[in-house]
């Protein structure tokens, strides 16, 4: 982990379903990430809604669509993306590095050092 912290602003790790990252307290070098290959788009939506209502940050991991290591089905990905598009005014979707930069700036403004 110290090497990751020296090289990268943020890095995703692995996490259990149901626990979002909390921006003011999470370790940016070991972010919780949920595997999308084991859950339906309805479950992904539920976790995003929960994370959003708790002011958390949901990160999903998959490495392919319908095949490969940690795949997500095209059906589930499409359903999830439709939900995100429909709710783009309520749910911020961005690359991990962009969210991490925002969190670092917010922590600095608030004087939070982790």
**Per-residue pLDDT tens over the stretch 59-76:** 999 999 999 998 999 999
Sign of CA dihedral 90, 50, 25, 37: negative
Number of domains in the chain: 1
DSSP 60: E
Q: Rounded mean pLDDT of the chain?
A: 91
Q: Report pLDDT digits (tens) over 45-64.
A: 999 999 999 999 999 999 99
pLDDT values of the chain reduced to their tens digit, one per residue, 114 residues: 678 888 999 998 776 655 899 999 999 999 999 888 878 999 999 999 999 999 999 999 999 999 999 899 999 999 999 999 999 999 999 999 999 999 999 999 999 987
User: Quick one: tokens of 37?
Assistant: 């290959």
Containing domain of residue 60, as a range? 2-110
10 Å CB burial of residue 87 (0-12, 13-18, 19+) is middle
């Amino acid at each position: 982990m110290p090497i990751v912290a020296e090289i990268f602003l943020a890095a995703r790790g692995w996490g259990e379903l149901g626990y979002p990252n909390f921006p003011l307290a999470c370790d940016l070098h070991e972010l919780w990430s949920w595997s999308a290959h084991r859950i339906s788009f309805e479950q992904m939506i539920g976790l995003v809604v929960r994370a959003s209502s708790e002011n958390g940050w949901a990160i999903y991991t998959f490495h392919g669509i319908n095949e490969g290591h940690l795949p997500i089905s095209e059906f589930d990905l499409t359903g999830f993306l439709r939900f995100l598009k429909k709710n783009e005014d309520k749910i911020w979707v961005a690359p991990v590095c962009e969210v991490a930069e925002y969190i670092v700036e917010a922590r600095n403004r608030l004087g939070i050092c982790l």
